[in-house]
Structures are given as structure tokens and as C-alpha cells.
Chains A and B, each alone.
Chain A
């Protein structure tokens, strides 16, 4: 496998964390334009912990996930009672605030004769924990996809459980869910926190893959793409977001036919797809049909 294919596959894996994070909120009926902020929180905090404090990556990743979910919880607390578009706007504002805070964030230390750490708009270089341990691209690819696989299995178990049904119930009709005795707000806060942790995990992995991050990595483009991926792939199953990422990064990127026109193709594809399948390729009906067929 050459570097290019490895790189694309790694990127598909990394993006999938973010898309899954958006998906989790979408099935609970909330559209967030701000998951990239938690991705950024994960990237920055994970990077600082390994590059400046020399902690091992797994520890850094756990702390970053906790931090990501805490941030998501705090943003969710005042905003989750808002409906639809209002929530989307509030998360957008929160995420742009986070990006600007990254721009203002300077925290550099001398490590091995070099200044390491976030340096405002100049970015954060030298997140080299993985690199210095001689992990080759293929090895890192395996790590990313291994973790993604775990996340997917958790999702699939969750979707078969009562929790999964409850989240979809809340997403479809929150008032009716309340009338069934479901504590909608509490569930949504839990979902926001979990989605924040998932995005933060993706961010940690991204930072260590790239060895370099900067505030602009986490602007609104990233968040809206992850939303679009979840919506293209479909809201019926956790494979949906993955499919969405693959359609864009794999198919459009891979087939060089669209070179230079990829966004024109992608944009048109999404818009037309949404007309015919407003809940994506693998929506609830398709998934239900497939399940009835094959189980």
C-alpha cells in the first residue's frame, strides 16, 4: 500500500469519528454545527499532554475525551432546550468562539531545545509522540481503524438496545417522548457529552497523525462536512456516516475524473440526494428492510 492510499484511508477513519459524533446528535434530533470544536479540544489537549507533558498517547486520549465531553456538556446545558435551527446556530457560535480562543491560546515550553506548544494562529507544531516511536503510516492506520471499529461496535450494540430506540424516539418527536415518561433533556445532555468525547478522540488521533495543528483546521467547514457525511450516508445505522465519508473522500477523491471539480460534484450530489432521500442513503426504512431480510 503506498503512502497515498494509506493517507486517504487514515483520513476516512479520522473523519468518521467526527461524522459519527454528528450522527449521534442527529438521531437524537439535534443538528450541531459545532462538533469540530470538540475535535479541536481533543487535538489541542491531546497534543499538549503528549508533546509538552510527555504523557503516553492512551492516557492523553482518555483525558482529551473527558475534556471534550465536559466541554460538550457545558455547551449543551444552556442550548439543548433550543429547537432545530436555533440549536444549530448556537453550536455554530460556540464552535467559532472555540476557534478564536485557539487563535488566542499560547502555551509554549522548551522541549529538547525546541519551542513546542500552541502558538496562536501560528499553530501547534511538534506533536510527535507517535512519530518518535517509529510508528509507520500503516501501523497508525491500523490504530485509527481499530478504534473506529470499537466505536462502531458500541454504536451497533447501542442501536439494538432500548437506549438506541429511546434516542430515536426523542429525535422523532420529543413531546411524544416526554408523554411516554422519557426525560428528554437528560438524555440529550448525555448524548451531547458522548458525542463530544467521540469527536475529541478523533481530534487526538488527527493531531498525532498530522504532527501539526492550527486553529483554522477546526473552522466551520469541518463541522458542516461531518454533518453532510452523516446525512448522505444515512441516519438509519452507524454505518451511514462511514459510507458518507467514503463517498466523498474515497469515491470522489479516488476517482481523479473529478479533479478540480470535486466540490462541484460533491455539492451537487448532496443536494440532489437530499431531494430523493432526505435522511440519507441508509435511512431507517432501508435499514429496517435490510434487517428483516437478513436476520
Chain B
């Protein structure tokens, strides 16, 4: 029901179909604790900020997908609309697949790849996996 209503709204707004799903961006700064970050999630849909969602943030290590269970945290609404704040407690530096579970006005699950280091987190640009060449 909610879903068909959503379709209707989207159709009325005549947005491109790809705008149907939410988009997310992540900005993280390191905290005082090792491997813990203050993160801001920016949610948007069709270019518009998406406020009011219930967001939980988790993380997985890509090369050990089921073994690192980072406790998902509920994000609090941030300063601007569509912004959410969460503290992410990782187990080590390196690449993590950040899992966003959205509920409320939008029900979705998004996966973002970020590389976490001592300065913060950057989206991953994929390259070879071995140390040399």
C-alpha cells in the first residue's frame, strides 16, 4: 500500500525512475578513540534531501563478510534536513562496506564502500589488491 502510494507520488512528480531509490553519502571524522568515527550521513532522493527517516548504520569487512559484526547504531537527525549523525565503532582501519538500513518514509538498504584511515573516510576507488605493481 505504502509502496504503491510512493509510486504514485513519484509518477506525479514525473521524476526519472532511478530517483525512486534513496542515495546516500558519508562524511566521517576520527574521534578520540581508536577506530571510532563521527559520521554524517546525507540522504537524498531525486536530488532532494530526505529527512525523517529512521537510519541505522552498520559495517562489514568485504574480505570477511560474515565475521565482523559491527554493532549497528541508530543515527540521530543532524543539522541540515536529510542529514543524520552516528558514531561508528570499527575494529580496524581499512576498507569497510557501510550498511545503511532505512525505515520510515523510505524502506531501503544501501551499501557504501569507504576506506577508513586516521584522517577520516573516503569512498573507495577500486584498484588491484596486492601490494606491488
A and B touch in the complex (CB under 8 A): yes
From B20, B21, B72, B92, contact of A7 by CB (8 A): B72
From B35, B64, B109, contact of A222 by CB (8 A): B64
Answer yes or no: A183 CB below 8 A from chain B CBs. Answer: no
Answer yes or no: B67 CB below 8 A from chain A CBs. Answer: yes
Q: State the Cβ distance, B115 to closest chain A Cβ, in Å.
A: 13
Known contacts: A114-B18, A216-B129. The answer to whether A211 contacts B111 by CB under 8 A is yes
Q: How far is the CA of A216 from the CA of B108 in the complex (A)?
A: 24
Contact present for A112 and B66 (CB under 8 Å)? no
Residues of A within 8 Å of B63, CB to CB, are 216-217, 219, 221-222
From A112, A211, A249, A260, contact of B20 by CB (8 A): A112
Q: State the Cβ distance, B8 to closest chain A Cβ, in Å.
A: 16
Stretch of A8-16, A59-67, A160-168, A174-182 with 4 or more beta carbons under 8 angstroms from chain B? A8-16
Residues of B within 8 Å of A134, CB to CB, are 107
Q: State the Cβ distance, A73 to closest chain B Cβ, in Å.
A: 26
Residues of B within 8 Å of A4, CB to CB, are 69, 71-72
Contact present for B97 and A212 (CB under 8 Å)? yes
**Is chain A's interface secondary structure helix, strand, loop, or mixed overall?**
helix
Q: State the Cβ distance, B74 to closest chain A Cβ, in Å.
A: 9
Residues of B within 8 Å of A131, CB to CB, are 108-109
From A11, A112, A121, A225, contact of B69 by CB (8 A): A11
Contact present for A3 and B66 (CB under 8 Å)? no
Contact present for B69 and A253 (CB under 8 Å)? yes
Answer yes or no: A206 CB below 8 A from chain B CBs. Answer: yes
Residues of A within 8 Å of B64, CB to CB, are 221-222, 225
Answer yes or no: B56 CB below 8 A from chain A CBs. Answer: yes
Contact present for A212 and B17 (CB under 8 Å)? no
Q: How far is the CA of A271 from the CA of B19 in the complex (A)?
A: 52
Contact present for A122 and B66 (CB under 8 Å)? no
Known contacts: A125-B111, A212-B97, A216-B129. The answer to whether A14 contacts B17 by CB under 8 A is no
Q: How far is the CA of A248 from the CA of B68 in the complex (A)?
A: 10
Residues of A within 8 Å of B35, CB to CB, are 260
Residues of B within 8 Å of A211, CB to CB, are 109, 111
Q: In the complex, how many residue pairs between chain A and chain B have their CB atoms under 8 Å apart? A: 70
From A122, A214, A249, A260, contact of B67 by CB (8 A): A249
Against A, the Cβ 8 Å flags (1 = close, 0 = not) of B1-21 are 000000000000000111011
Q: How far is the CA of A260 from the CA of B71 in the complex (A)?
A: 14
Closest to B97 in A: A212
Closest to B126 in A: A121
Residues of A within 8 Å of B65, CB to CB, are 206, 210, 217, 222
Residues of B within 8 Å of A128, CB to CB, are 109
Contact present for B62 and A216 (CB under 8 Å)? yes
Q: How far is the CA of A216 from the CA of B126 in the complex (A)?
A: 12
User: Quick one: which of B66-125 are within 8 Å of A by CB?
Assistant: 66-67, 69, 71-72, 91-92, 97, 101, 107-109, 111
11 residue pairs bridging A and B, Cβ less than 8 Å apart: A4-B69, A14-B66, A112-B20, A113-B16, A210-B111, A217-B63, A221-B63, A222-B64, A249-B66, A253-B69, A262-B91
Known: A113-B20, A131-B109. 19 other contacts (CB 8 A): A3-B58, A4-B69, A7-B58, A113-B18, A114-B17, A114-B18, A114-B21, A125-B111, A128-B109, A210-B65, A210-B111, A216-B63, A219-B63, A222-B64, A222-B65, A225-B67, A248-B67, A249-B66, A260-B34
Using a CB–CB cutoff of 8 Å, the interface residues on chain A facing chain B are 3-4, 7-8, 11, 14-15, 112-114, 121-122, 125, 128, 131, 134, 206, 210-212, 214, 216-217, 219, 221-222, 225, 248-249, 253, 259-260, 262
Using a CB–CB cutoff of 8 Å, the interface residues on chain B facing chain A are 16-18, 20-21, 34-35, 56, 58, 60, 62-67, 69, 71-72, 91-92, 97, 101, 107-109, 111, 126, 129
